[in-house]
Amino acid sequence: MKFNIVVLSFVLLTSACTKINTDKIILKHDVLTECNVAIQNAVVVDRIPPPVASRRYYYAGVAAYESLVPFSKDYISLAGQLNGLKNIPKPDTSKGYCLDLIALCAHTFTSQKLVFQEDSIANFRSRKLDYYQKNLPSSTFENSVEYGDSVGAAIVRWSKSDQYRETRGTGFYLVKHEDGKWEPTLPEFGDALEPNWFKLRTAAVPAASSISIPEPEPYSKEKNSRFYKITKQVYDQSKNQDSSLLGIAKYWDDNPNSSIHYGHATIGVLRISPPGHWLSIFSNVAKQKKYDLLKSAEGIARLSAVIYDAFIICWDTKYKTEYVRPETVVRKLIDSSWTPAIQTPPFPEYPSAHSVVSSSSAALLTSMFGEYAFTDSTQMEFGLGARSFKNFREAASEACMSRLYGGIHFIDGIEKGKMMGNMLGEYHLKHIKTRK
């Protein structure tokens, strides 16, 4: 009897080892949530502007998704759908792999090449590799790292042809100093941010100008003009709003280029950006809802792609219209000492970028993943607490209106930004497919 038990135990152990070496296994379904936190931390510390942040999230998200697609019969590659994406390496399906390790390697290989804080990503990756190495057969571990890194390398090569390098340090923006045109604002009077961003290769839309919105309201000093009325609306809102609306403005500020001044000292404030905020919302929801690895990767890739396009099409309109910020007009026409509740970022007003990003994100997420209540805890580590929403669209609507509460956008820039974002979201849903 004792001999039979020993033999049975040996057979079961041998079967388990054989299975772990030949099957495509998953140890951690939520590994991409951890990857998202790692790249988010690097982006925040780098203090790069939101458009540049969107590019980093985009390529890392696509890398993770593409590394997993060959292992599923239900999902479709983005190669041939995203502009310029092709020739993604294929795995040797006869080998044993750990899928979440593959996704981890593809994501971190890519993100480490795109951030300034390379050590931050490298240290995160090293810690996670230690875990997998201890819990996997050596062949499965080595196969997974090699394949994941090969996909990451392919995505990095693809990223180098998007015109990003060509836009560095060229084509500086010349301030017009005309009524109705954008001018630098307090406290730093910074140069226009990323005036050539619209020249980058888009993700899915044919060109930066593919989605258009009406021209902004013409500038006017006349008190009975509509322009003066929407300017007065911003000013009156700041004077009359209660603390709850001010809290909303600060919660959705998401300005990584803001600063605090003490005399002659300037201190940069660490904050998340709109792309990081929305990707954090989704990755946390995916973890709470226990989405499987492929579904999480799909959501991150699709969301990062629509956000990346959002900044390109929005920046195209911003630098075509060169529209003035409320801060400039209020100080000229109404109150020379007025400052908005949150710091005005250094680029033209029309349309509101956060409105484009939030609306396109909500349109995509709602269509792909449905409507359900969730709590956003993204801002907890920045001391701004958590907020709960009925669905993605409610969160997006609040993010849009926060720009009026903060005093940095006219209502038209918000409403037309929502229009642009919704159209972009619908375009991605129509033209990009990830499910068979």
Same domain, 281 and 423: yes
End-of-domain residue from the set 159, 192, 210: 159
pLDDT in tens, 136-186: 999 999 999 999 999 999 999 999 999 999 999 877 899 999 999 999 999
In a domain, 170, yes or no: no
Same domain, 193 and 269: yes
With bands split at pLDDT 50, 70 and 90, how would you rate the model's confidence at 424?
A: very high
Rounded Cα distance, 391 and 145, in Å: 37
Question: 225 and 141, same structural domain?
Answer: no
Is residue 166 a part of any domain in this protein? no
10 pLDDT tier (thresholds 50, 70, 90): very low
109 & 154 share domain: yes
- Dump pLDDT digits (tens) for 254-296: 999 777 766 667 677 788 999 999 999 999 999 999 999 999 9
Residue 167 within any structural domain of the chain? no
Bridge pairing between strands 259-262 and 265-268: antiparallel
Whole-structure pTM value: 0.93
The domain containing residue 83 runs over which residues?
2-159
pLDDT in tens, 239-249: 999 999 999 99
* Boundary residue ending a domain (99, 132, 159): 159
Contact 162, 97 (CB under 8 A): no
Whether residues 230 and 111 share a domain: the answer is no
Decide if 436 is inside a domain: no
In a domain, 314, yes or no: yes
**Count of domains observed in the chain:** 2
Stretch 338-354: mean pLDDT, rounded? 97
DSSP state of 312: H
Check whether residue 104 and residue 188 sit in a common domain: no
pLDDT at 6: 37
Rounded-to-integer distance, Cα 220 and Cα 228, Å = 7
Does 165 reside within a domain? Answer: no
Q: Helices marked H in 161-222 — which ranges?
A: none
335 lies in a domain?
A: yes
Q: Which CATH number belongs to the domain containing residue 279 in this structure?
A: 1.10.606.20
Percentage of residues in the chain having pLDDT higher than 70:
93
> Is residue 187 reached through a cis peptide bond, with omega within 30 degrees of 0 on the bond before it?
yes
Q: Is residue 370 left, alpha or beta, with left meaning phi > 0 and alpha meaning psi from -120 to 50?
A: left
Same domain? 148 vs 196? no
Give the mean pLDDT of 3-22. Answer: 34
Cβ-in-10-Å burial (0-12, 13-18, 19+) of 259 comes to: middle
Give the pLDDT of residue 23: 61
Residue 283 lies in a domain: yes
